[in-house]
Structure 1
């Protein structure tokens, strides 16, 4: 039988202690997996916001899913609502890409996203296309800002070797998250530093200073 990760999240301690938000999510997921004939294992983050992917139980679930298919004991992740998993288009797009690369399914019941089905894959691809379009638009702005900085004679350092969308995404994340959370989300999206290393809080701080120096705008 196919086994899926059922992921639950509530953002406040009050919701966590009452169990009401968790119970509703669990019920929705249970009915869905029962209809599909799937088994489910539960991962629960209590009192945590979706502004970051740096949540203990979510990261534990993603680690379990990253195992190569032949050794993996779960086949995907199911959430009752997309905002239980992520409130960021970029973060969700990164999860979808990871799922596609590792061949596991992502199911967001409220949106009809179920990448184990052809229709669900289509919906997910549309969402990723929108995210890619957004990154390209942001990249154009970043490139224009960097070219202007070059003409003004400003030194750009290693930031110039970052992919355009990585730099702009970093700036966007720093408007809402800590250095550590920003590093975690960049790593979760499969992005690296200019030297090809995983992001750390210190690396984010240095890149942020350099990008700010050349006038790369943040986005909300």
Structure 2
């Protein structure tokens, strides 16, 4: 069977694990030699995250084009996560593959989708990988909510809040000058006001975005609803305290809230 190889690394992986494109390519050659396949070509993406769908990666796009040819029957990878970011990305690939008859060979998972058993195994692997990613996202979200409900600083300081204290004693409080605008924005969105209308109103009133820009990002406005209820229970900082922190932030060249 004529196969094309596909290899991918992100910069983070190279630094952490030393997984190079060359190492992956050598494994693909060894696999093809062992199983009697011919590696007719190879495609690569360096410094490309798995979060990008394969069809949008430079090397991935060329690989998909190669699979449309009559002389190529499939693609071989070291691991499935070299190809697919999630189950949906994998299923989209197979919708394309069904039209061309292309197969997937994964060395680590011992998968050959040219057989019914191999296609079943591949589908199960994709579903399991998606399940693990969903669990990780859920755990991270629950951790974020729990920490913010207790007033602990987690990641960036939400708009309408301010971080008070130092080190482990650093806690979130509501910022009296901006919390009112956060509440108004959330209430307007809940009432059905469109994001673009709300952005125009904020611009007209001269209310700067969390980054200090005159025009708000639509994504920023949309995200303000996230965890808003958990932040509402935080204590309100007093005006003098906020003024002190704001002055220190200005002198340091940073924003007191983001």
Q: TM-score, normalised by structure 1?
A: 0.51
Deviation beyond 3 Å, 4+ runs, structure 1: 13-16, 125-133
Matched, 1:43 2:24: no
- 1:27-38 alignment, distance < 5 Å: 27-38=26-37
Q: Deviations over 1:22-51 (max 9, x none)?
A: 122112211111111111111111111111
- 1:15-26 alignment, distance < 5 Å: 15=14, 21-26=20-25
CA gap of 1:15–1:125, structure 2 versus 1, over 3 A, is closer
Q: Residues of 2 paired with 1:123 and 1:13: CA distance?
A: 29
> Alignment partner for residue 58 of structure 2, among 43, 56, 59?
56
Alpha-carbon contact 1:48-1:55 (below 8 Å) kept: yes
Alpha-carbon contact 1:93-1:131 (below 8 Å) kept: no
Q: Residues of 2 paired with 1:84 and 1:132: CA distance?
A: 14
- 1:115-154 alignment, distance < 5 Å: 115-127=113-125
> Alignment partner for residue 83 of structure 2, among 60, 82, 85?
85
**Higher share of residues assigned helix:** 1
5+ residue gaps, structure 2: 132-191, 193-218, 226-258
Alpha-carbon contact 1:99-1:106 (below 8 Å) kept: no
1:101 corresponds to which residue?
99
Q: Residues of 2 paired with 1:14 and 1:28: CA distance?
A: 17
CA gap of 1:28–1:107, structure 2 versus 1, over 3 A, is same
Q: Secondary structure at the match of 1:98?
A: helix
1:179 corresponds to which residue?
none
Q: Residues of 2 paired with 1:13 and 1:125: CA distance?
A: 28
Q: Deviations over 1:175-198 (max 9, x none)?
A: xxxxxxxxxxxxxxxxxxxxxxxx
Q: Residues of 2 paired with 1:33 and 1:44: CA distance?
A: 17
Q: TM-score, normalised by structure 2?
A: 0.44
Q: Residues of 2 paired with 1:108 and 1:20: CA distance?
A: 16
Q: Residues of 1 paired with 2:123 and 2:13: CA distance?
A: 36
Q: Which moved more, 1:7-16 or 1:25-34?
A: 7-16
Greater C-alpha Rg: 2
What RMSD, in angstroms, separates the aligned Cα atoms of the two structures?
3.8
2:239 corresponds to which residue?
none
More contact order relative to length (CA 8 Å, sep ≥ 6): 1
The count of aligned residue pairs is 141
Q: Secondary structure at the match of 1:43?
A: strand
1:195 corresponds to which residue?
none
CA gap of 1:97–1:23, structure 2 versus 1, over 3 A, is same
Alpha-carbon contact 1:96-1:106 (below 8 Å) kept: no
How far residue 78 of structure 1 moved from its aligned partner, in angstroms, is 0.8
Alpha-carbon contact 1:105-1:114 (below 8 Å) kept: yes
